Amino acid sequence: MHILGINDSSHDASVSVIKNGKILFAAHAERYSKIKNDFSLNKQILDEALEFGVPDKIAYFEKRNKKRLRMFLHGGKNGKYAANLYKNKIFGKELQGIKEIQVSHHRSHASAGFLTSPFNEAVTVVIDAIGEFETASIWSCQNGKIKKIWSLRYPTSFGLFYSFITDYVGLEPGRDEYILMAMAAYGDKTKYEGNLDAFFPAHNVQTMSFHKKLLSERSIRDENDIFDIAAAAQAVFEKRLGEIMNFAQRLTKSKNLVYMGGCALNCAANPILYNIFEKVWIMPNPGDSGSSLGAALSVYAKHVEWRGPYLGKNIGGHYPVEKVIKELINTGVVGVMNGRAEFGPRALGNRSLLADPRSVASRDNVNLIKMREKFRPFAPVVLEEDANEWFDLPAMSPYMQLAVRAKKPNLIPGAVHVDGTSRVQTVSKDQHPGLHAVLTKWKNLTGIPVLINTSLNIKNQPLLNDMEDAECWKTNNPNIPLIIGS
């Protein structure tokens, strides 16, 4: 069976291809259009997807009429949905008459998670802002079968709560939540935690609801209040997350958790999961951009072999290990492009900006290069065999999904946040031989098996994707070396 999965006319449009039980392609529209969080597909990404052949079925993310109904009932704007538009205007005549299937928002998330997981049995928890009506759901999953057993409905929402606070402190909701998470480390949660607890109470998960009041004072008096509010929001989010995860475990008695939805990107909260479950799987693209794959997997309805997140644009080449090491020694920072782009919001070695973690100045330099706020942290990438010596990890973290205590922060201050934590990426030789080789050589030279690894882009721009992007980078950043595999 050959299935084309599509997420369009929703934030972070994407396309995925499954054929004979293998994921052949999965990519974000923004990487091709160069528009961050692009809502729409484009001819370039669709043409690339069709290089794998004409599909037997087309799976669309979301039940469009249900979403329209929710928007109508709650006074929202009726978005433009294009379930047939692209076939007619971009795909061409060869796709006319192919069976189309619409898959609900949360079922797409659940399918993307469980059917790529290593588990035959698990509880899958989906938490995000909002689907058609649902904002959180719990699924009992076994042998490829996925059954919903509980859900939370709009307007109560973990994701909307976090986005509301993002907007309240002057950031852009739906885009800057990760900045709010970084800000939380600078604040005092006690100042506003009581207010936010009252705003989003959960004495019983099944009766969780919003209250209208938020803060006792609507005006933010100074910059410190912004960070205090962020800290309180993160603390309340973590408490509610623990409550719903404990509830999911009690419902199913499962020791295995699959966690999906945009809230699964909150790496500062994710270590909580290991207090409740023995094993956890978060597909590296758990938000809406991963749901083109989820829609396709829901139609396929079987487990697929997960071989890693390198599923996007392929520029080929061998990993430029020696050249990367040379630039790190000479300049302390280097961009690297090689092979297939990562499917997900995080660079994991193939579209990465790597840097020396041994000084705060290095972190500040990379923030300057990327035009980001100076207080923002960077993730360390570490050899898997050395990971437990350097970080307090409950499990390996190949996709940067856990923010944990750094054990030797004085040796890698450029990769440690103000609260002493790091969002860790662990790398094994099997997972990424090239990046593993870079880290091994770096360790031999410095005694440090750690590098800063951040996305190869400028703030509010998509990650570099193709050779055209590489040439643009070289023109606009002539002092920042970019090494391309050959």
* pLDDT at residue number 76: 52
> Model confidence over 148-179: pLDDT tens digits?
999 998 888 999 999 999 998 989 998 999 99
Homologous superfamily in CATH for domain 2-109+288-305: ATPase, nucleotide binding domain (3.30.420.40)
pTM: 0.94
> Residue 215's pLDDT band (boundaries 50, 70, 90)?
low
Res. 218: pLDDT tops 70: no
pLDDT of amino acid 86? 47
Percent of the chain at pLDDT above 70?
92
Q: CATH fold of 312-484, please?
A: DHBP synthase (3.90.870)
User: 266 is written with which tokens?
Assistant: 């909150």
Read off the pLDDT band of 75 (50, 70, 90): low
Does residue 470 register a pLDDT over 50?
yes
Residue 282 and residue 48: Cα distance in Å, rounded? 27
Looking at domain 134-142+150-281, its CATH superfamily turns out to be ATPase, nucleotide binding domain (3.30.420.40)
Domain extents for the chain?
Answer: 2-109+288-305, 134-142+150-281, 312-484
295-330 pLDDT per residue, tens: 999 999 999 999 999 999 999 999 999 999 999 999
pLDDT at 90: 55
Query: So what's the pLDDT on residue 71?
Result: 65
Confidence of residue 10 (pLDDT cuts 50, 70, 90): confident
Range in 336-340, 361-365, 450-454 the model is least confident about: 361-365
Examine domains 2-109+288-305 and 134-142+150-281 and report if their fold is the same: yes
Asked if 55 contacts 25 with a C-beta cutoff of 8 angstroms, the reply is no
pLDDT of residue 471 exceeding 60, the answer is yes
